[in-house]
Chains A and B, each alone.
Chain A
Amino acid sequence: MSRLYGARGWAILGACSLVVFVVFPLLNLAVPPEHPLHLSAFWVTLAGKIMCYAMVAVAMDLVWGYAGILSLGHGLFFALGGYAMGMYLMRQIGREGQYQSDMPDFMVFLDWKEFPWHWWMTDQFWWALLLIVAVPGLLALVFGYFAFRSRVKGVYFSIITQALTFAAMLLFFRNATGFGGNNGFTDFKRILGFPITTPETRMALFAITGAALIGTLLLARWIVTSKLGRVLAAIRDAEPRVMFCGYDTMHYKVAIFTLSAVLAGIAGALYVPQVGIINPSEMSPANSIEIAIWVAVGGRGTLAGAILGAGLVNGAKSYFTVAFPEYWLFALGAIFILVTLFLPRGVMGLLEHLPGASRHPSSTRRGKTA
């Protein structure tokens, strides 16, 4: 416990949990809709969505902020987790689709008579859970193994991850791939038999997402405060030295990259039932770059900063895309440039200068060693 966070850190985490698990459910479910304090479904979905983004941001911070590997393909892992969940949700529609068929609408439309092989067992929830973890995980494991074994690093690694997500997007755009082409999956009706749009289901998904985010944060924090976390930071600062200390850095990089991809996949799986749609645009290269921007804005190598960055940027995005939709990308670019120029350590670096803040919130050190 004390290794993970100090009293102050646990207090902040406790307060956030209170908001997620008590304040949101009360204001949304217990307060009647006409009451001014009522929290509408819009806000619950928005906050749930942002928590999913925050999970990806934490996953990104693990590989980028700590191990120094800038992956610009995390949107792919997020989308793959989402698609795995989406397949299950499509099967849960049953015969309630437009064509009242056992097959999803897009397959009826394409005149397919039976499910493609990769839809095998997707009506089983446990199988969906397995896919959510295994598909992004295996892809990252294989891709990471070949990339890191060939010593691909720095900007070259970033570029090939961009290419990877772009290639996957083109693949998923094809109808023949069997994932609904450019429309993707939508019109979900139920999850585990519960109607998906009722306030109760929505709130349950929201709370599960909150728990997953807190779990992700604590797991990541546990890793970065371990000796393994220090090895990762050492790889970031001086990889040859780490090798000559006797560590096979490739294994470390593959391990953290794979774990990060799995966490991103879980985030994607929680995202889809809340927003009600998944399509190949989630794999667009720009989406993955945006994830890196959240982490940079919040402050690399801090974990909490990743959550903060995801919240701030997406909060701003929600406002901008309604108020001045055509200017959002300019605003995003401006935020990124300003942060890079004036806040190299992000918002967390700024917070550190506040009175009463602890000196080393971003440090990976643990107690006195000698």
Chain B
Amino acid sequence: MSAAVHAQSGFGAGGGSAAHVATGGLDTTHGVVLYLDGITVSFDGFKALNKLSLSIDVGELRCVIGPNGAGKTTMMDVITGRTRADSGTAYFGQTIDLANLSEAEIAQAGIGRKFQMPTIFERLTVAENVELAMKADKRVRRTLFHRLSSEERDRIAESLRLMRLEAAADRPAGLLSHGEKQWLEIGMLLVQEPKLLLLDEPVAGMSDAETERTAELFLSLAGKHSLVVVEHDMAFIGKIARKVTVLHEGSVLAEGPMQQVQNDPRVIEVYLGR
């Protein structure tokens, strides 16, 4: 499994060593890929995020946990441009201010996102789903005249093989099982060649075996990509976690290795101990 992932030459954004990934305008010379500082978002007076500060290192695999309403999804919305912060700053690398970019521009800059509910194009085939996600010039005219090169075909096939969806390539994606849809969406993320992946509950609805494979995949991606994983499945978190951030009421409650966080009395009170 992990060997197969490493063979995906196209997936690695910055090569093996994670210290300097400075491709495509992303400047991570200080080793930080994402930097949130004092982000506040309120909806009708309710503070979904309250002075949230967080930084993700290049190549890191960070798990974010927290009770419902802690602001996990809102945080992803802010990073991907779907929601604008009322105050605070969000930087991608040293130089890219996310507040100035649209969703599409943020995606092109190298942030990929998987939604909580698997979101794929139900009426297109599985292969077409991957085709649309694949890194390319995504402007209207280029898209109209775009023809699949054999190299691109190979990459689609490769990605489907990795996601174990080759047999379903020409079937409408809407016919896939829930777990397969999750995998397809992860595969779509990877062919986008993002430098930072945001994964919102990626193993929800997966069987144990599928969850196991997903954990292996994520571990093999870390280092080449930076990952932020939001999950409720503590067994899954336990498998992949290095550093865990606990959100509560819109800000960071605790941060550190899984063991330390699990034993933090404040965390136990708001989340784990109930």
Contact = CB atoms under 8 A, between A and B. Distances in A.
Interface of A: 223, 226-228, 230-231, 233-234, 237-238, 240-249, 251-252, 255, 364-365, 368-370
B153 A231 contact: no
B103 A243 contact: yes
Interface residues of B, number: 42
B77 to A, nearest CB: 10
Contact of B153 (A240, A255, A369): A369
A253 B73 CA distance: 27
B107 A241 contact: no
Given A243-B103, A245-B188, A230 B108 contact: no
Contacts of A369: 125, 127-128, 130-131, 148, 153, 156, 169-170
Interface string B153-177: 1001100100000100110000000
Interface in B107-165: 107-108, 112-113, 115, 119-125, 127-128, 130-133, 135, 138-140, 143-146, 148, 153, 156-157, 160
Query: For chain A, what secondary structure do more than half of its interface residues adopt (helix, strand, loop), or is it mixed?
Result: helix
B192 interface: yes
A246 B101 CA distance: 12
Interface of B: 80, 82, 102-105, 107-108, 112-113, 115, 119-125, 127-128, 130-133, 135, 138-140, 143-146, 148, 153, 156-157, 160, 166, 169-170, 188, 192
Contact of B124 (A223, A233, A252, A368): A233
A251 B124 contact: no
B120 A370 contact: no
Contacts of B170: 365, 368-369
Contacts, number: 107
A245 B144 CA distance: 17
A370 B140 contact: no
Contacts of A240: 82, 103, 115, 119
Contacts of A223: 144
B121 A370 contact: no
A230 B112 contact: no
Given A228-B140, A237-B122, A244-B112, A370 B169 contact: yes
Contacts of B113: 244
A238 B160 contact: no
Give the 7 A-B CB pairs with smallest separation, nearest first: A369-B127, A246-B107, A243-B103, A370-B157, A248-B104, A228-B144, A234-B121
Contacts of B156: 369-370
Contacts of A249: 104
A171 B236 CA distance: 64
B11 to A, nearest CB: 16
Given A226-B144, A370-B157, A365 B124 contact: yes
A228 B166 contact: no
B120 A241 contact: yes
B148 A230 contact: no
A370 B119 contact: no
Contacts of B130: 369
Contacts of A231: 132, 143
Nearest to B104: A248
B190 to A, nearest CB: 12
Contacts of A241: 115, 119-121
A230 B124 contact: yes
Interface centre among B131, B140, B153, B169 (most CB of A within 10 A): B140
A228 B138 CA distance: 10
Contacts of A245: 107, 132-133, 138, 188, 192
Contact of B166 (A251, A255, A370): A370
B140 A251 contact: yes
A248 B121 CA distance: 16
